[in-house]
Chain A
């Protein structure tokens, strides 16, 4: 089954404790992206990757890091989480950036206290 998986689905953590949210897709997609969703603001892009070892900043990259060492995986790293990073996070993939059907992961609800 074609899918994008994210882990963990829910996470409560404390300020400053490094964390990683994993994202993996099984469709051999080149393009992957991370979004955060906040009430009233809609989905905003954090980082995206057009292929292995090719990543770039989206609209709200501050406080986040990503890597793309393998085509299927695109982890999101929060080196020192802060409460303003409390949000719902989605990973997505597609064959081409924005031009093809987007496949979204199930979401990760992160709370930073």
Chain B
């Protein structure tokens, strides 16, 4: 079982829909990242969370440390939001702590 699980793996939505992508992890963490990978392959950082909630434009990220769960919400989705969304966690154990990645959620937003 992977340390980081994302759901759903694939998601198709119509423009304007509210979208939720989920990330569950099995280890104690000090930070959680949400990343966006564009169809061309480039990766950009959307959010870094250690508690609570963050908002940037139409994107909202939340985290529940006790439940080991995070969600990424997209309000009023648009075709340009089509991308792969990746959750990554920084475990807080071990001397070589590093980012562990989920396998991503592929989102397609249609007109």
- State the A residues within 8 Å of B (CB): 33, 40-45, 48, 56, 58, 88, 90, 92, 97-104, 106-107, 109
Interface of B is mostly: strand
Q: What is the interface size of chain B, counting residues whose CB is below 8 A from a CB of the partner? A: 21
Interface of A is mostly: strand
Given contacts A99-B31, A102-B33, contact A48 B42 (CB under 8 A): no
Any A CB within 8 A of the CB of B111: no
Are the C-beta atoms of A107 and B45 separated by less than 8 Å?
Answer: no
- A100 CB contact (under 8 Å) in B42, B44, B48, B86: B48
Once bound together, how far apart are the Cα atoms of A109 and B41, in whole Å?
A: 10
**Chain B residues within 8 Å of A45, by CB:** 98-99
Are the C-beta atoms of A98 and B98 separated by less than 8 Å?
Answer: yes
